[in-house]
């Protein structure tokens, strides 16, 4: 027998939270947007009233004001939104113990077996909606399906557009409702893939579902197979609480507050990024052997940048060791043009309880130093101990300590 999976999506999540906390904003067009002076002046969330003026997520703030001059702009408070997301998880856990966060405003819920307590799926979905609205004053849309991929498409394509905010896709009705939709409405199909599929004569999800599988696999390999499975509503991935427990890589990316032009100031940011990546790697008691560096140029008219990786001699989570290899990568591929963003990541992760010894350095002692620094920061704050370079004008460590996810707490 099929499972029953819900995908619960919070409408205009950030904006809804702000409106719930500030009743005077209830009937106003509201958007949550970052700081324009620090290059984050884009709309993160627009309430339904703001959307009625043509304002969409990711619209620049100046474009939003052109659509609606009397727009109310609220700066994001990420810590508040994370707390709200956790509260919603707690509400969902009353209906099932299998809750899987998909993003800060979307969560999967497996409810098979809960029907005896809460009724049939649509009745249960209504109870979940009512609970979230009563306790959080936030409206949730719910897609229902026999698996995660169908519940996601039920939510995105139907629940968000009907009056009840609830829609159920089944294996019996998916051909009627899902297959006639344009192929770019399918989960996993972006603009580029949509163009490729249309060139092959595939314009709807149903046409993709009926397309010869071998031709798709020959063209895109495993990805072609996944596209075919998704179009046919096949998804065997379970709803699990452990979806984020096995990371393949740990990284950190930063959009810079201004153009960084010189090697000296870029080295400062690169070192800070390596520090953060290694701290997070140590927090999971892991080490990485492959370091990846990526950057984007400052020019929007002539995009530039690179994304390169290299394998280090030994797995490590030492900041300076990772930084030395990261700088070699950057120095090799940088075109010496100003950059506007920079990122570092570690992959090929493994446990940190086995260390390759060296005749020329006490690697065990050097690794322990990193853990001591982490403990100091955990006890006394992220800025309790800093590298001197972070105190220069190029440093951003102090500013980042005030933020979550690139936005102020």
Binding annotation = 9, 105
Residues contacting residue 83 through CB under 8 Å, at least 6 positions apart: none
- The rounded distance, in Å, linking the Cα atoms of 10 and 32 is 15
| Contact of 102 with 241, CB cutoff 8 Å | no
Active site residue 106: yes
Write the CA distances from 141 to 13, 154, 274, integer angstroms.
11, 10, 39
* Cβ atoms within 10 Å, residue 263: 13
Sheet holding 99-103, edge to edge: 99-103, 106-110, 5-10, 140-145, 166-168
- Note the residue count of the chain: 409
Catalytic residue, chosen from 18, 100, 106, 275, is 106
Binding site for Mg(2+), by residue number, is 9, 105
| Contact of 158 with 15, CB cutoff 8 Å | no
Burial zone of 357 (CB within 10 Å; 0-12 exposed, 13-18 middle, 19+ buried) = exposed
- The rounded distance, in Å, linking the Cα atoms of 321 and 258 is 27
- The rounded distance, in Å, linking the Cα atoms of 136 and 14 is 12
| Contact of 270 with 344, CB cutoff 8 Å | yes
Enter the tokens of residue 176: 């009627």
Residues contacting residue 244 through CB under 8 Å, at least 6 positions apart: 101
- Phi first, then psi, for residue 25 (nearest 5°) are -90, 0
- The rounded distance, in Å, linking the Cα atoms of 109 and 102 is 10
Specify the DSSP class assigned to residue 21: H
DSSP secondary structure, 141-154, as one string: EEEEESSHHHHHHH
Please give the positions annotated as active site: 106
């Amino acid at each position: 027998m099929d499972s029953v999976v819900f995908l619960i999506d919070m409408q205009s999540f950030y904006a809804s939270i702000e409106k719930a906390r500030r009743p005077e904003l209830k009937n106003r067009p509201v958007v949550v947007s970052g700081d324009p002076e620090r290059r984050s002046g884009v709309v993160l969330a627009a309430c339904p009233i703001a959307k009625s003026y043509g304002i969409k997520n990711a619209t620049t703030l100046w474009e939003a004001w052109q659509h609606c001059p009397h727009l109310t702009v609220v700066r994001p408070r990420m810590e508040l939104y994370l707390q709200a997301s956790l509260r919603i998880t707690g509400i969902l856990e009353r209906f099932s113990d299998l809750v899987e966060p998909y993003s800060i405003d979307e969560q999967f819920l497996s409810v098979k077996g809960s029907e005896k307590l809460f009724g049939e799926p649509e009745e249960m979905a209504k109870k979940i909606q009512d609970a979230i609205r009563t306790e959080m004053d936030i409206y949730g849309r719910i897609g229902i399906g026999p698996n995660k991929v169908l519940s996601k498409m039920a939510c995105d394509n139907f629940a968000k557009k009907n009056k009840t905010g609830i829609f159920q896709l089944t294996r019996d009705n998916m051909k009627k409702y899902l297959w006639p939709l344009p192929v770019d409405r399918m989960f996993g199909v972006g603009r580029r893939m949509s163009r490729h599929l249309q060139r092959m004569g595939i314009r709807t999800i149903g046409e993709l579902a009926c397309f010869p599988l071998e031709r798709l696999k020959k063209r895109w390999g495993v990805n072609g197979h996944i596209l075919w499975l998704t179009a046919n509503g096949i998804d065997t991935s379970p709803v699990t609480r452990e979806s984020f427990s096995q990371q393949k890589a740990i990284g950190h990316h930063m959009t810079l507050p201004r153009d960084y032009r010189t090697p000296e100031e870029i080295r400062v940011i690169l070192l800070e990024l390596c520090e953060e990546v290694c701290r997070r790697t140590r927090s999971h008691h892991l080490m990485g052997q492959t370091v990846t560096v990526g950057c984007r140029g400052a020019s929007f008219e002539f995009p530039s940048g690179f994304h390169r990786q290299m394998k280090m001699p030994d797995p490590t989570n030492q900041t300076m060791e990772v930084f030395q290899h990261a700088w070699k990568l950057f120095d090799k591929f940088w075109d010496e043009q100003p950059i506007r963003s920079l990122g570092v990541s570690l992959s090929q992760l493994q446990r940190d309880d086995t260390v390759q010894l060296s005749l020329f350095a006490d690697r065990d002692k050097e690794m322990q130093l990193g853990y001591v620094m982490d403990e100091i920061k955990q006890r006394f704050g992220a800025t309790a101990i800093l590298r001197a370079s972070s105190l220069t004008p190029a440093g951003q460590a102090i500013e980042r300590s005030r933020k979550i996810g690139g936005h102020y707490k």
